[in-house]
Structure 1
Amino acid sequence: MDAQEVLLRAREHIKHPTLEGVLGASLIVYILYHALSIFYCLYLHPLSSYPGPFLARCTRLWYVYHLVKGQLPFAVEQAHKKYGRTVRLGPDELSFLDPDAWKAIYGYKHGTGGEMPKDPQMYLNTSAGALSIFAAPSKRHGELRRLLSHGFSEKALRSQETIIQYYLDLLVARLRKLSEKGEPIDIVTWYNVNTYPYTLGPSGFLRKLTRKKYFTFDVIGDLAFADPFDCLKLSKNHPWIDYTFEALKMQTMLRASDYYPLLKKFLLLMTPKETLQGFQSHIELVKHKALHRLGMKTDRMDLMSKMAAPEGGLTQEEFIASGDTVLLGGSETTATLLSGLTFFLLKHPKALKKLVDEIRTTFSSEEEIDFQAVNSLSYMLACIDEAFRLYPPVPGALLRRTREPDTIAGQSVPRNVTVGIYHWVMFRSPEYFAEPDEYIPERWLGQDARFKNDNLAVVQPFSYGPRNCIGRNLAYFEMRLTLARLLFNFDIEATPQIEGWDKQNVYLLWQKKPLQIILRPRDVKSRQQVIDLS
């Protein structure tokens, strides 16, 4: 067959293509496209010089696999140990393990229009159809934050102390009643930990977990909406709690599936019907609660007062979205930290005894335990900060995206690159801490020579810069008060079931397990409160 005949046959196939021919050509084009894409990412991409796992440098497969598996922060930790301070986690994503990166990524950038923008793939519109304060663009974020900051100021929170103390009265009363049986108590239930309510079952499909959440959800519901959930009073969940977690549970996986649209379709097919129904119910309940708050005529100052006022200038959708964010953020940080802190104290009896002694020698009755008094407990603060270091409520990274070429921790980064600091990795790095995986509150007191070179400033659990968590004061207030009153009223003991409690998966938040402990009530002078437990 000569060349002319080959050309004639090829021309005939082009004029009259067969199904097999079309499929074959499509497959060749598909393979060629991805082969060229991989080659480009590995050798020609602006980030090609940055080290990282092979699949991470040329595809999103490495990232998506560990994200869906719930192991991304731990995989990133191992990658940094192997590749150094700057690691490529995706074709267009870098992770930094350098103290200077906090300011470069999350700080205010003069002359560039504010801070580095958030990665839009991580921060989508909320269920209310609007961007919350968490995800709003720089200018709008500043306006929303100014309105919300009034409610989170120390002065405003002190005026709300009676509300928080009321729920602590309920918590202590409930725990005293339960502890009479001498049986193990899942303290996670009572702190209110916003767990990821689904896990992968043996078949690979999502399986629902059941968990009650009480204290911090009650507090933030009252402070934000002036409309309590009464979980502690009734000793049962409000439906919104379950709906809220069902609305959150798929966010991580759906974010991962954005890289592969076919995966998203499969994920939606395997999503339980109750999950989708719960998500819709969450939307309706958020709107109902927020609209009820907007319609209230009250002089009471709470977290949302300035936002609810007409002069606040918020759209209805923005108010709903921001209220949703305050509810989740305001309950999650405190409850997660208290759970982790309780675990670490039980695993380190010397630290527990030292903290108990500090509390019980400072206070002779519960009446003395208030916001101002707990601020003097220096060892308690060290215990809290050490728990934040080892068990940050958000173990992953709050991702940003460069809008122009930038320099981060001495590294040149082109525009349109996702960057971030993984809290879990930074806070446990042996570069910045002696005995990095050990719970030692003394490192925060500046008196132990072993830790003189520790870089405590790298621990930023509330993030850094103009978008750091506005609820920091509230979190510390709640944690100090709760811990002081719990250890004043009870002796706490570990059970064998707490072993390995801290080995958890991460789906945006920690997938927390029950933390079974024994509470031994003490005969102490209680606050003068009448609590109806009927």
Structure 2
Amino acid sequence: MGPSGHYSWLLMAISSVFAPHGSPRRHLHVLQPLPPLRAVPGPKLWAVSQIPYILAWLSGHASSTIHAFHEQYGDVVRVAPNRLSFTHPDAYQNIRGHRKCTQEEHGKDRAFYVISRQNILGASREDHARFRRILSHCFSAKSMQAQQPLITKHVDLLMQRLRERTTTTQDGDGKRKEAVVDLAAWFNFTTFDIIGDLAFGEPFGCLEESRYHPWVSAIFRGVKQLGIMLAVELYLPGAVNFARKVLPTAFVAMDKQTEFANERIARRLQLETGRPDFVEAMVTANSEDGRMLTRHEMAVNARLLVFAGSETTATALASAAYFLSKYPEVQKKLADEVRSSFTSEGEIDLFSVNKLQYMMAVLDEAMRVFPTVPGHLPRTCHAGGDVICGIQVPAGTGLEVWPLAMNRSRRNFTEPDKFIPERWLPEAEYTGIRFDRERHGAFQPFSVGSRNCVGKNLAYMEMRLILARLIWNYDLVLADEAADRFLDCPAFGLWLKGPLHVRLIPLTTD
């Protein structure tokens, strides 16, 4: 039985148990169309039942399905009886933008944050503000300056491992040669080691061992399990505990992640000497009311930072490497910028890469075409309702922004499916194509408002450093047909990426 069939069986099992205790109409989520939403366009079946929406999620291709709906119906689409999806840029500010203390925010959709309610991602407004004030110290300019040697150490090890594979001897001192490597894996090794060192006080050892740490492997296995949990919560809110009894193995990976995070935090707190990592910042920083993070709060937030600060960064790097390999003219332009901006590899650091304008355009375009987070992180319209993108939305309505649909909308971007970094440059022109009418506000890879990504600056600096070092040393060529299909992968909140086999060609060969 495939994954989709397995999940469908789980939903039917839960439904059969709970059906006697309530209305079948309620448990099937077949609803009468809400009058305020009746005029919103969308597929008719999706407007009367939540089941198509859930099945699309379980298929791993909800992002592309929603994107197709928006191309057919417009900027606002009804994707479930009580859910709207938006691709107009105003939706970001209308739904997630900053609000005054007296203004109610559109809260996180509880079904989608079933495992995140204790960390900064799914916390209440009050707890989020407290977490944010404390965790912001982890990403301050002062902290990043102190963290540079730690980050550079891991990037140095990445380059050493790649050199070992592109020389005729294992110590990296032999003749240079071409080699095929899985860059998707190596980027993951690097970003997990960096964020593990920052969040837990020690790396996972992925680069040292040239393989995934068991905890990192558990994270990838947990992505599909997260899809199960979301489907269960959508189908029957509050039924996750029942699902644990029906299919306990589905939750083993997530339970092991929590256990590991608690152990690592406890071990880090036993160190008497300070080091420039997140734990040090969390211990020394207080919120405005004087409250510090408890050990449990440190553990759940550190676990989130590892999850959010590694896989997403690695995905952006992998997609950038894919596009650079696929489009040699773009790679040459970036290589010219990198290799003309420095006189030696040692000059490339977290801060010197800030001057690489085309590098930034390449990374942004990679994240636009292939969003690092394809999921939608939905909100729920607050009490009293609100006007979203000119539409009166009743309280309790699900509010969704799918990055893939937003980023590839033909109403937002010219030639939206093409990889054209020049669209982000001041001159905004490429082979006669102009981009001056694009709605660049549609591109928000780190979200907006008070709950935007706290690690945005670190992520950009890390991506530019790693990619600059890679391009300084190598030319990239896709190695096989499988690599050419790298973007064709399912997603359950995050992409389930396959390998990215790239031929590394050293700048000098003997």
TM range, smaller chain = 0.7 to 0.9
Measured after TM superposition, the shift of residue 145 of structure 1 is: 0.7
Q: Structure 2 residue aligned with 1:187, among 179, 183, 186?
A: 183
Query: 1:282 is paired with a residue of what secondary structure?
Result: helix
Q: Does 1:51 align with 2:41?
A: yes
Deviations along 1:261-286, one digit per CA (max 9) or x if unpaired, are 5997997799694x544333222111
Other-structure match for 1:439:
419
Deviations along 1:98-149, one digit per CA (max 9) or x if unpaired, are 11111110012236445321111111244xxx61011111111111111111
Other-structure match for 1:316:
295
Other-structure match for 2:57:
67
Deviations along 1:328-347, one digit per CA (max 9) or x if unpaired, are 11112210000000111111
More displaced 10-residue stretch of structure 1: 507-516 or 151-160: 151-160
Other-structure match for 1:242:
217
Q: Structure 1 residue aligned with 2:364, among 385, 391, 398?
A: 385
Query: 2:112 is paired with a residue of what secondary structure?
Result: coil
Q: Does 1:402 align with 2:381?
A: yes
Confirm or deny: 8 A CA contact 1:504 1:510 kept in the other structure: yes
Q: Which aligned pairs between 1:37-186 and structure 2 lie closer than 5 A?
A: 38=30, 41-42=32-33, 44-110=34-100, 112-126=102-116, 131-180=118-167, 182-186=178-182
Measured after TM superposition, the shift of residue 317 of structure 1 is: 2.0
Distance change (3 Å), C-alpha of 1:301 and 1:327: same
Confirm or deny: 8 A CA contact 1:58 1:91 kept in the other structure: yes
Other-structure match for 2:269:
294
Query: 1:250 is paired with a residue of what secondary structure?
Result: helix
Q: Structure 1 residue aligned with 2:254, among 251, 272, 279?
A: 279
Other-structure match for 1:478:
462
Distance change (3 Å), C-alpha of 1:496 and 1:108: same
Confirm or deny: 8 A CA contact 1:95 1:422 kept in the other structure: yes
Q: Structure 1 residue aligned with 2:203, among 228, 236, 254?
A: 228
Structure label with greater radius of gyration: 1
AA aligned opposite 1:132 = N
Query: 1:434 is paired with a residue of what secondary structure?
Result: coil
Measured after TM superposition, the shift of residue 35 of structure 1 is: 12
Other-structure match for 2:3:
none
Q: Which aligned pairs between 1:258-269 and structure 2 lie closer than 5 A?
A: 258-261=233-236
Distance change (3 Å), C-alpha of 1:412 and 1:351: same
AA aligned opposite 1:521 = P
Measured after TM superposition, the shift of residue 183 of structure 1 is: 3.9
Query: 1:510 is paired with a residue of what secondary structure?
Result: coil
AA aligned opposite 2:297 = E
Query: TM-score, normalising length from structure 2?
Result: 0.86
Q: Structure 2 residue aligned with 1:364, among 331, 343, 348?
A: 343
Query: TM-score, normalising length from structure 1?
Result: 0.83
Measured after TM superposition, the shift of residue 243 of structure 1 is: 2.3
Distance in 2 (alpha carbons) for counterparts of 1:248 and 1:292: 27
Other-structure match for 2:438:
454
Deviations along 1:362-402, one digit per CA (max 9) or x if unpaired, are 12211111122211111111111111111111112111111
Give the CA RMSD over aligned residues: 2.6
Other-structure match for 1:203:
none
More displaced 10-residue stretch of structure 1: 497-506 or 297-306: 297-306
Distance in 1 (alpha carbons) for counterparts of 2:318 and 2:92: 27
Distance change (3 Å), C-alpha of 1:504 and 1:270: farther
Other-structure match for 2:498:
513
Measured after TM superposition, the shift of residue 429 of structure 1 is: 0.9
Query: 2:476 is paired with a residue of what secondary structure?
Result: strand
Percent identity (aligned): 37
Q: Structure 1 residue aligned with 2:476, among 492, 514, 530?
A: 492
AA aligned opposite 2:475 = D
Query: 1:160 is paired with a residue of what secondary structure?
Result: helix
**Structure 1 unmatched ranges of 5 or more:** 1-25, 193-213, 525-534
Confirm or deny: 8 A CA contact 1:89 1:95 kept in the other structure: yes
Other-structure match for 1:303:
278
Distance change (3 Å), C-alpha of 1:272 and 1:299: closer
Distance in 1 (alpha carbons) for counterparts of 2:393 and 2:214: 46
Confirm or deny: 8 A CA contact 2:54 2:235 kept in the other structure: no
Distance in 1 (alpha carbons) for counterparts of 2:221 and 2:351: 38
Deviations along 1:75-99, one digit per CA (max 9) or x if unpaired, are 1111112222111111111111111
Distance in 2 (alpha carbons) for counterparts of 1:278 and 1:121: 20
**Structure 2 unmatched ranges of 5 or more:** 1-18, 169-177
Query: 1:432 is paired with a residue of what secondary structure?
Result: coil
Confirm or deny: 8 A CA contact 1:41 1:58 kept in the other structure: yes
Confirm or deny: 8 A CA contact 2:28 2:49 kept in the other structure: no
Q: Which aligned pairs between 1:14-53 and structure 2 lie closer than 5 A?
A: 33=25, 38=30, 41-42=32-33, 44-53=34-43
Distance in 2 (alpha carbons) for counterparts of 1:394 and 1:334: 10
Distance in 2 (alpha carbons) for counterparts of 1:232 and 1:48: 54
Distance in 2 (alpha carbons) for counterparts of 1:36 and 1:361: 61
Distance in 2 (alpha carbons) for counterparts of 1:111 and 1:152: 24
Other-structure match for 1:414:
394
Measured after TM superposition, the shift of residue 46 of structure 1 is: 3.7
More displaced 10-residue stretch of structure 1: 181-190 or 349-358: 181-190
Confirm or deny: 8 A CA contact 2:446 2:456 kept in the other structure: yes
Distance in 2 (alpha carbons) for counterparts of 1:225 and 1:183: 33
Query: 1:304 is paired with a residue of what secondary structure?
Result: helix
